[in-house]
Amino acid sequence: MNLRKSWSLWCVLAAVAALTVGEVRGEDTIDIPKPAAESQGSPANLRSQIYTHPKRGFTIAVPPSAQVLEKNEQDPQISIRSRKGYVINVQSGMTKRETPLAEMPRFLEERYLGEGKPWTSRGAERRVTVAGLPGHEVQYEGNNTRARVIIVRGQESDFVFIFFAAEREFQKLEHEFDWVLTHFRPGPNDLPQPEAVFSIKTKEFSHPGYGFTILYPADWVYTKPAPMTAMFSGKEGSAGYSAIVSVQNVAPRGAKDSEDAARMALADLRNYLAGTVRKLVYLEDRPWVYERDDLKLNGREVVMSYVHAGQRFQKRIVVVPRPFQAIAHIWSYTAPVDVYPIFNRIAERMLKSWTVLTSTGS
């Protein structure tokens, strides 16, 4: 995580504990506890407790070094305070679906970002998935502390997770925040709802020069995150937001022909994942044959599971050589492990609709 500096040691950022989703209330601050000398270790290896929200029904694991404080008895906003020297605030409220997730942090920033305020600058941001729900993370910095803010959208509730600690302790403590997020489970009314196996209406991706077409659900969106790459997923705020199907064309340097390109592209992808994710496990690795009309391409299918940013994902990759060119087509489906089976059939239907074009004019 690329997090930077935040405010002075132990006390100012705790004002964020007053946040209710979509609004900011000026309430008493909660001081960040000073770190106590204690044995190191992952929370998973120690005894933890499970907190259940009395109104919204979500559960969250509390690290053994921490205690939970509540505000507002009817709809508690909770603060997890650790003797190790960090605070995790968890707030929840009715979802503000009219406000995109990426815009939700502005409610916090109006009060906490700027000159004379706890946060002096805004850092990196990204979309995330927590317990199968779409989310948006923003990082903040000040003088001597750092903060991570993650806003997650359920079917009925929005959730705000805020982690902050002293700068000098931040990197060694943020794994506990990732662990807490991994063990968060939304209540029954906020669980992601499975979408139709394939919408009755579909759209076709067909762009000149890409060399393929593919169908995708009409209520999904596509983006082009890189040259010769098409990425498809559910709209922001939908259950399919974290289910991503992509197709890209790769021309490995030094490839002699299409078969060589396919082998090299897959090897490069394996090496990249091995160097950027944790706990990589290969579940399937086998030949895969593309057959449509008179075209037959011998490729490879790989299914893997791995941990990234504290969350476990599953990825399916299909690599085939592009006819008559030193290029590989790479199709993939990636989702958090609890989301993967929900949209696997949609991904499979998309794969079956994938058509490799051999006409250079297509």
- Residue pair 261/320 in contact by the 8 Å Cβ criterion: no
Whether the predicted pLDDT of 51 surpasses 60: yes
Q: How far apart are CA 337 and CA 315, in angstroms?
A: 9
pLDDT at res. 359: 64
53 and 174 belong to one structural domain: yes
Whether the predicted pLDDT of 181 surpasses 80: yes
Give the pLDDT confidence of 122-140 residue by residue, as tens digits: 998 888 888 888 889 999 9
pLDDT at res. 144: 86
Q: Which residues contact residue 352 at a Cβ distance below 8 angstroms, ignoring those fewer than 6 apart?
A: none
322 and 227 belong to one structural domain: yes
The letter for the amino acid at 109 is E
Q: How confident is the model at residue 193 (pLDDT cuts 50, 70, 90)?
A: low
| Between 9 and 350, residue with greater pLDDT | 350
Average pLDDT of every residue of the chain: 83
Whether the predicted pLDDT of 22 surpasses 70: no
Burial classification of residue 47, based on how many CB atoms lie within 10 Å of its CB (0-12 exposed, 13-18 middle, 19 or more buried) = exposed
212 and 183 belong to one structural domain: no
In a domain, 212, yes or no: yes
Whether the predicted pLDDT of 248 surpasses 90: yes
185 and 215 belong to one structural domain: no
Helix (H, G, I), strand (E, B), or coil: what is residue 54?
A: coil
Q: How confident is the model at residue 47 (pLDDT cuts 50, 70, 90)?
A: low
Q: Which residues contact residue 220 at a Cβ distance below 8 angstroms, ignoring those fewer than 6 apart?
A: 203, 232, 233, 234, 235, 240
Q: How far apart are CA 29 and CA 65, in angstroms?
A: 21
281 and 304 belong to one structural domain: yes
95 and 36 belong to one structural domain: yes
Task: Please compute the mean of the pLDDT values over residues 305-314 and round it to a whole number.
Answer: 89
Distances (CA, A) of 177 to 249, 298, 353, 361: 37, 44, 40, 51
Q: How confident is the model at residue 192 (pLDDT cuts 50, 70, 90)?
A: confident
In a domain, 213, yes or no: yes
Whether the predicted pLDDT of 91 surpasses 90: yes
Give percent of the chain with pLDDT exceeding 90. Answer: 55
Whether the predicted pLDDT of 326 surpasses 90: yes
Task: Please compute the mean of the pLDDT values over residues 19-38 and round it to a whole number.
Answer: 38
Residue 21: strand pairing partners: none
In a domain, 298, yes or no: yes
Indicate the residue among 147, 170, 190 that finishes a domain. 190
Q: How far apart are CA 117 and CA 27, in angstroms?
A: 16
176 and 217 belong to one structural domain: no
Residue range of the domain that includes 78:
12-190
Give the pLDDT confidence of 253-273 residue by residue, as tens digits: 999 999 999 999 999 999 999
50 and 131 belong to one structural domain: yes
> Looking at residue 26, which CATH number applies to its domain?
3.40.1000.10
pLDDT at res. 245: 97
Give the pLDDT confidence of 1-15 residue by residue, as tens digits: 332 232 222 223 333
244 and 285 belong to one structural domain: yes
Task: Please compute the mean of the pLDDT values over residues 316-332 and round it to a whole number.
Answer: 96
Domain count within the chain: 2
Q: How confident is the model at residue 16 (pLDDT cuts 50, 70, 90)?
A: very low
Indicate the residue among 140, 159, 190 that finishes a domain. 190
Give percent of the chain with pLDDT exceeding 70. Answer: 83
In a domain, 4, yes or no: no
| Between 284 and 193, residue with greater pLDDT | 284
In a domain, 196, yes or no: no
In a domain, 362, yes or no: no
**Percent helix, percent strand, percent coil in the chain, to nearest 5:** 20, 40, 35
330 and 264 belong to one structural domain: yes
In a domain, 6, yes or no: no
In a domain, 197, yes or no: no
Q: How far apart are CA 251 and CA 264, in angstroms?
A: 9
206 and 186 belong to one structural domain: no
Q: Which residues contact residue 62 at a Cβ distance below 8 angstroms, ignoring those fewer than 6 apart?
A: 48, 49, 50, 51, 68, 80, 180
231 and 253 belong to one structural domain: yes
Indicate the residue among 165, 190, 215 that finishes a domain. 190
